[in-house]
Amino acid sequence: MRRRVDRGEASWGALPKTKQREMYKVLWLWRSAAEQGQANAQFNLSLTFKNGEGVKQDHAEAVRWWRKAAEQGDAAVQCNLGVAYASSEGVKQDHAEVVRWFRKAAEQGDAIAQLNLGVMYASGQGVKQDPAEAVRWYRKAAEQGDSNSQHTLGCMHANGQGVKQDDAEAVRWFWKAAEQDAHTSGIPRGSGSCGPERKTQAAKDRVSRCVMPL
């Protein structure tokens, strides 16, 4: 499962002592704002407990603050809360809760949550197994440019899972994912360095690891 960390997870230990003192002040402000119901502060506070930065590491306390922010509709935090339930991180594993929080985030358009929800439908965890529904959520994430979703959607087409077997459609999605691979390697989309040969090889590499992203 993939977690959302859109707002960063900087390490306090790497900061100079003077900066660390400043961060303790920030931590106090986050706690004050979080207790007043500010979702961003609740998210930031949850990360300090998750990472043990400025406070004793406490996954259960991190989940408690994640839940407060998630209940306010923060899609990124909802996705993180789903991962916490999937991985037993600070809370007892509960696949029904995993699906519930992934769905809330996915319905708001969060691509990572859409991918994760697709995985739940593909595996039948917390929900009745439904490859066609898995494909529907993979497609939503893939159309937003998520390379893992594009890769997985290609696999579904290649294997005829939840959709009619279609090699051409599989290759189309593998190529889209391969272009993302080239881009994340520092090669701009559409540049001469990302030509057909490079993308073809990247697509072949993805075919060879056509497995579900659990």
Q: What are phi and psi of 84, to 5 degrees?
A: -60, -45
Q: Is the dihedral of CA 95, 97, 98, 102 positive or negative?
A: positive
| pLDDT score of 189 | 43
| pLDDT score of 79 | 94
| pLDDT score of 48 | 87
| pLDDT score of 214 | 44
Low-confidence ranges of the chain (pLDDT < 70): 1-21, 181-214
Q: Is the dihedral of CA 74, 75, 76, 77 positive or negative?
A: positive
| pLDDT score of 201 | 60
In three-state form (DSSP H/G/I as H, E/B as E, the rest C), the secondary structure along 145-207 is: CCHHHHHHHHHHHHHCCCCCCCHHHHHHHHHHHHHHHHHHCCCCCCCCCCCHHHHHHHHHHHH
For the chain, the first-to-last Cα distance in angstroms comes to 6
Q: Is the dihedral of CA 45, 47, 52, 57 positive or negative?
A: positive
* Residue pair 146/168 in contact by the 8 Å Cβ criterion: no
Report how far residue 106's alpha carbon sits from residue 113's, in angstroms, rounded to the nearest whole number: 5
| pLDDT score of 178 | 83
